[in-house]
Structures are given as C-alpha cells and as structure tokens.
Copies of this chain bind each other. A is one copy, B any other.
Amino acid sequence: MVRYRLWVDSEAHASAAAAAIAREQTVEVPHGVGGAELQARLLGRVGDVADAGEGRFDVSISYPLEVVGTQLPQLVNVAYGNVSLMNGVRVVDVELPAAALEALPGPRLGIEGLRALVGAGQGRPLVSVAIKPVGRTAAELAELAVTFVRAGVDVIKDDHGLVDQSAAPFAERVQRVGAAVHEENARLGRRCAYFPNVTGPVDGLARRLEVARAADCPGVVLCPGLLGLDVMRSVASGSGPVAIMAHPSHAQTAPGRREGIAPDVLLGVLYRVAGADAVVYVNALGRFSWPVQVCERINERLRAPLGALRPSFPVPAGGVRAEDAGRWLERYGADTMLLIGGSLLGQDDLLGATRRVVEAAHAVDPAWRGVAEGEAER
C-alpha cells in the first residue's frame, strides 16, 4: 500500500488522478488491453480518498503482489516510478507486503548490535564524529581520529565527500586511519569504530569493501542516493564489513515539497529495509531547515516494529552544535546516534569539546526513549 498526497482542486480530480496513477504504475496500457480479467487482476486498487485541506488530498493505492514482487527496485518502481515525473504527487506512506519484509535484509546489526559493536552497554546513545575536510592528508585525518578515540566517541566516520582524492586516496586513508584507531583503542582499552566512506564507482565497490574489511573496519558509510538503494541492499546482503551507516547525499528529499518521497518514508522505512544500521539525516536548527517534527517522525520510523526487522539508529547531523548535544539527546532519547562534524572541528580545544559531547551522551537516562510532540509534518 502506498499513500500519495495529491495537489488537485477537488475530490473528483483526486479520485481521477488516483485511478490514473493506479494504471500508470501497473499495466500502463489503456482500458481493456490485455483483457478484462488481466486488468482486474493487476491494476492498482484505489482505496480511501481523504481531503487533507489546502487543496491537498491523500489517496491510498494497493498494488497486487504479482506486479510488485519482493525486490527493491520493483517496489520503488511501482511506488514512485513514472509518477516521479508528474508534479503534485508525493509519497507520504508506504506499507510493504509481508513477503517483501521477509525477503529484504534490513539492518544486520541494528541498534542493539551497533551498541554491542562499540561496547556501549546499558542502552545509552552513541556519539559519532566526521573526519574532514577533503584536502587533509591521510596522516592528518588519522591524527584527528586519534583525538576522537581519546575523547571516547563511539564511531568515527569519513566525511561523505572523502572519496579517492589525491590528498588522501581511499586505500591509504582506510589503512592509516584504521590502524591509528586500532592502536589507540588497544592503548586505552576502547572499542571506537572507524567507518570509511565506500561511496564511489559501483564496479570498484567490492574492492573498497575488501580494503575496509582488511583494515578491520567493522562498518562503512555509504550514500544510497548516489549509488542506488538496491546497491546498499546488496552490500547488506553480502560478506563485507557488517555495519552500514547510510548518508543522505543526493537523497532528494525534504519536508514541504509537493513531490518526492517524504523524508520519514525514504529515510525511516526504505533505508531501513535496505539494510542501514544507522541513518544520517539533517537535524533541525542546523544548516538545513527541517522541522523538528520531521526529525522525530524519522526517529519513530527507524525504531518502530516492522516485520521481523531490527530497528536502526537515527543519526541527526548536518550542523548540530557541540554545545547542544545534551539538549538533542534529551529530546531524542537513548536510541539515538548523534553525529557532530564541523562544529567540533572548529573548536580550539578539540579533545575537551568532544569529551563534553561524550559526557552528555553518557548522562542520558538509558530508559529515556524520546518524545514525539504532535503530529509529524510530512
């Protein structure tokens, strides 16, 4: 079942548009072609049409399993394929068939598995940081990483803009940063994880995953918007490093648009079923202007029961100020991984500032699961 929000001027037009979408996304031929029995069997079925006010109508369409199947590219094709070329049609909810939820990998580790990976017992939130900017050498990035291990962060990730540039080529960076993190972990008895960014040409992905695995990296950063959602699914189904942190670069979603897949559906449902253990999104009050209600709706989606799939860590990011870490964690609860990048890197006392963020995370009551205030904006 897919729920669409339509921008049309009457309920009659909404019903007509819904019928056109149900045809476009399935048989895609005029009435009668292929025979009445075939069309009755395979056309999408329009359900409720609800007036959402301000010239918006919500319609739900159920698609036959025979058309959709259980594979991710076709699920997306049916939910938002050709209609992604129409204006005024937005996906605001998706309920996947049980067969698809069984066939898709979902997170390999999920929230509890990631906590165990970094040795964070007692259900506390995690702290992750980004090493950057592009242009720093592998040695400089490794030095940064060592400071972050000392400060007690849980996950150090490559900035998603670090790929294979000359200052810090992929293999050299992964080896140097990976080795530096392992050494400092061993020295201090820590289990900080380093997740290199494996986004890049798809035909080199297996090799990059192997480099990460060989450097004992327990997870990777990957941008499904750039590589394809099903590429993430194939990594989650494969034999590389176990954890995936999905980054939303080129995800092409934001609150308030008339088109696209709503952020909570894309990042909160599709990224999770495709295997992300942690999903980065742009937090409220940072460099992007996503309302906090949308952020909380993503949090909810990533943590909610969904077939037998594990929950994924929501990762608010995108300009979170270090001094606000405690405030955000109090709001979002213990099942959160906070990601702070630029705000820390700009501090004179990097070690001290990072330690304060870590302390804020350790201070959160593990029983506190955050609160969703009011109805989420989509």
Contact = CB atoms under 8 A, between A and B. Distances in A.
A138 B82 CA distance: 24
A327 interface: no
A375 to B, nearest CB: 20
A163 B71 contact: yes
B133 A41 contact: no
Contacts of A73: 163, 199-202, 223, 226-227
A62 interface: no
A38 interface: yes
Contact of A32 (B71, B82, B282, B346): B346
Contacts of A33: 133, 342, 345-346
Contacts of A24: 287
B69 A164 contact: yes
Interface stretch (A92-100, A171-179, A228-236): A228-236
Given A77-B226, A226-B228, A30 B163 contact: no
Interface residues of A, number: 83
A345 B228 contact: no
B288 A85 contact: yes
A125 interface: no
Q: How many copies does the complex hold?
A: 2
A28 B159 contact: yes
B201 A164 contact: no
B86 A288 contact: yes
A76 interface: yes
Contacts of A231: 202, 228, 231
A77 B28 contact: no
B250 A74 contact: no
A199 B164 contact: no
A134 B66 CA distance: 9
Contacts of A74: 163, 199-200
A166 B231 CA distance: 24
Contacts of A249: 77, 81-82, 84
A289 interface: yes
A244 to B, nearest CB: 15
Nearest to A256: B87
A8 interface: no
Contacts of A29: 132-133, 341-342, 345-346
